[in-house]
Amino acid sequence: MEVHAHSHTARKKWTHYFWEFLMLFLAVFCGFLAEYQLEHKIERDREEKFIQTFIEDLKTDTAAIRQNILFRQNKMKAMDSLTLLLNSQQIKGHENDLYYLGRTFVRGVRFQSNDRTITQLKNSGSLRLIRNEQAADSMISYQKLVEYIYYNQEDDRIERREADPLLSHIFYPSVFDKMVSIDGINRPVDNPPLRSYDKNLHFDLAYYVHQLKGSNFMIEVRLKLLNEKAKNTIEFLKKEYHLK
How far is CA 158 from each of CA 36, 149, 155, rounded to the nearest angstrom? 54, 14, 5
- Which string of DSSP letters, residue by residue, matches 198-209? -HHHHHHHHHHH
pLDDT given at position 35 = 59
Confirm if 96 and 191 have CB atoms less than 8 A apart.
yes
Q: Classify 184 in phi/psi space as left (phi over 0), alpha (psi -120 to 50) or beta.
A: left
pTM for the model? 0.81
Cα separation of 91 and 99, whole Å?
Answer: 11
185: helix, strand or coil = strand
The H-assigned helical ranges of 14-108 are 14-87, 95-104
| CA–CA separation, 54 and 122 (whole Å) | 13
Q: Give the pLDDT score at 67.
A: 97
CB atoms within 10 A of CB 153: 20
- Gap between the Cα atoms of 175 and 189, Å rounded: 10
Residue 141 CA to residue 138 CA, distance in Å, equals: 5
User: What is the mean pLDDT, run by run of 10 residues, along the chain of 244 residues?
Assistant: 52 63 65 56 73 94 97 96 96 96 94 92 78 89 96 95 95 95 90 96 96 96 97 94 85
